[in-house]
Structure 1
Amino acid sequence: MRNNKRLVNLAVLATGLILLYHTSLGNRMEKAIRTSGKGHTGVLDEAVVNSSKPFIHADTTKWQFPCDEKSIKKYTARHISKAPVIDGKLDEEVWQKIERSPRFVDLISGGETLYDTRAAVCWDDQNLYIAFWMEEPFTQGTFKNHNDLIYRENDAEVFIALKDAYYEFEINALNTRYEAFFMWKDAYEKNGFGAIPNLSLANPLVRNFNGVGLKNHPRGLRYGSWDFKFPGMQSGVFVDGTLNDHKDRDRKWTVELAFPWKGMEWLAKGDQRPIPPKNNDVWRIDFTRFNPYKEAAPAKDSGGWAWSSHGVWDSHVPECFPKITFSRKGI
């Protein structure tokens, strides 16, 4: 009898352990299915099913981008009372007194660059104003049509990024523009981007986009529209030298831009942030310069220079853009 009781007790204990194991495994399987993300089918990986260890989420609290988070540049954009004339000369008082950025660094390495490049930002209740000063001995500019591939020659670029979208602007020494508007796929439907003809997926100039050098952005894919022109935007360019003439040495070329706040409605769609900004609001804006040459070795010149390094050959990483704080305090 005692032996029979012992056998019964052992059987009950074994049954309990089996039930406990399967309950734990089932919980892990259910959790794994719930957490399968983009790029997965929802079918459990065999390693997860057979694992005796609990299913653990990937750590998303760590910095996941190629730039150094602590090295991202910061700048305070001052409010102005008198708007500059947008002619590219940068001879108004505001541009003489304004704080300029540090000298641009290499886009990838963050190292010193061959020629001096700086930018500045200010604003009023109508426009966002941006200026570039670019030292350049041999200024080139040949592309004349909107959205020509002007990044293949001397160009200056601005990216304005808000929560669910960002805008790309490029300009060359002939004042030719290149523009595109990018929308994160996970926010495309909820923000109603498709209701706008030049952002609609039915438009042949709206295409999938997966970055340039960073092909595994943590947020996933984007839609890009190359049928976008920033409404009311003004630009001016001035060449201190002779364009496309290598017989002499130029000094610099300068760029002056004005982006109307009212044209940023779709950029701000994701978080409904106030436009124009409120005092001390922080935006992410990128400033870069690309050249048709590279400094000779042993210099590590990628050919792209930036206010704040990205750590990768890719301008499409909003998390690496400088942090611009808008202040109502004047210059």
Structure 2
Amino acid sequence: MANRKLGTQGLEVSALGLGCMGMSEFYGETDEQESRRVLDRALESGITFYDTADMYGSGRNEELIGPFVQKNRDQVVLATKFGNRRGPNGEYLGISGRPEYVREACENSLRRLGVETIDLYYQHRVDPDTPIEETVGAMSRLVEEGKVRYLGLSEAAPETIRRAYAVHPISALQTEYSLWSRDVEDGILPICRELGIGFVPYSPLGRGFLTGQIQSPEDFAADDFRRHSPRFQGENFARNLELVERIKQIAGEKNCAPSQLALSWLLAQGDDIVPIPGTKKIKYLLENVGALDVSLTAEDLRRIDEAAPQGSAAGLRYPESGMNTLNK
């Protein structure tokens, strides 16, 4: 698998990464044994970039992937995040970017992962009550101490990104981006490219919707958070199915899966883009890796843009409470 550069500080990763969140929470039933097989198979397939966060499973996700990272430390680029605080029972406690919390969160992540250094450390959500300069200043001290190699932000607004970069170079911005979430094209991608920051799209398959496998809200387990997502409810669901049908038609003509078309489209948006589709099944992992073999012509890209233009998805991408933490 080819590598791509994230930022201009020297970070290189596989063109496709692996999002590990669903292995521990949010998408229904989990199977740690199967997840470990997925991690091993991903590395065999050429994926070197693995994404987790301290909030996923309230730390359990870092503990799950820790042994895998330790075993393959010289091959794996490890990304984790801090900022979304949770209590002992998983309850959400808000966002923190306070300098003392940055250090505490990093130490806890290093302990759970069982490593000495985090390759890419993101602020998961911007803390509106702490100046970004103070947060990134604390993150930069972790770099100086060798506990972190590169810095990242997630769901940050253009001006926040600029202010952060003035304190310490930012190597990557992670924000939702897919054929049904294209708002980053207006202001966020341009500022990243101006400053030389790599872009890591999360939920590049629209939380599974762009795979074409989801036909009803009843397809979700009772504890699947998508049941509460506006895009998966009522009239929004029906309208979004129409969008997926248009993607499926083009994918059929290209003899590929809708998920592969969606990922190939993202990869074609620039060499500075590294999607991190998440999965907990080998079948879907291999399908995602197959996207790298899909070649899109200029006409293909035009038709895809026409089928899924910016703003075509119905509904907010999070419930209102979640939307209040984005683009800050």
TM-score norm. by structure 1 comes to 0.27
Identify the structure with the greater strand proportion. 1
Higher relative contact order (CA 8 A, sep 6+): 1
TM-score norm. by structure 2 comes to 0.27
Identify the structure with the greater helix proportion. 2
